[in-house]
Amino acid sequence: MYEPIGMWLPENLQWPGTSVYAQGVEVPVDYRGEIPTGMEIIDLSPCKMMVFHGQPYPEEEMGEAIGAVWDAIEKYTPETYGFKWADQDGPRFQLAPIGERGYIEARPVQAIR
């Protein structure tokens, strides 16, 4: 990915004593560079993600903009389009909230067969 993300880790990706929320950056699979103190490398399995993108907003309205996208996600029915939520498949993630581009968040899904 091209920027750091905030992630809500499903229980199967949480390590004892860590938080459900984590910050992350993508590194190459063969990365051997320095790992900052307190950080870990985790491997995430490939999964399908459904991405939600809100409208641009004034920076002082960030909380409301995030809330609007969260409300949309809660009301969304992925089954309408042949998917179901698959939160155990990977982390739900957000890109940095930047008003001029709108709030962006993604949630894992699986195709319904």
pLDDT digits (tens, 9 = 90+) for 20-40: 999 999 999 899 999 989 888
Q: Is the pTM of this model over 0.85?
A: yes
Helix (H, G, I), strand (E, B) or coil at 83: strand
At 1 the pLDDT is: 56
More reliable by pLDDT, 70 or 16: 70
Please spell the DSSP secondary structure of 26-74, one letter per residue: ---TT--S---TT---------EEEEEEPPP--GGGHHHHHHHHHHHHH
Are residues 27 and 5 in contact, defined by beta-carbon separation less than 8 angstroms?
no
Give the tens place of pLDDT for each residue, 49-99.
999 999 999 999 999 999 999 999 999 999 999 999 999 999 999 999 999
At 72 the pLDDT is: 97
Rounded distance between C-alpha atoms, residue 16 and residue 85, angstroms: 25
- Give the pLDDT mean for 43-52: 95
More reliable by pLDDT, 19 or 103: 103
At 57 the pLDDT is: 98
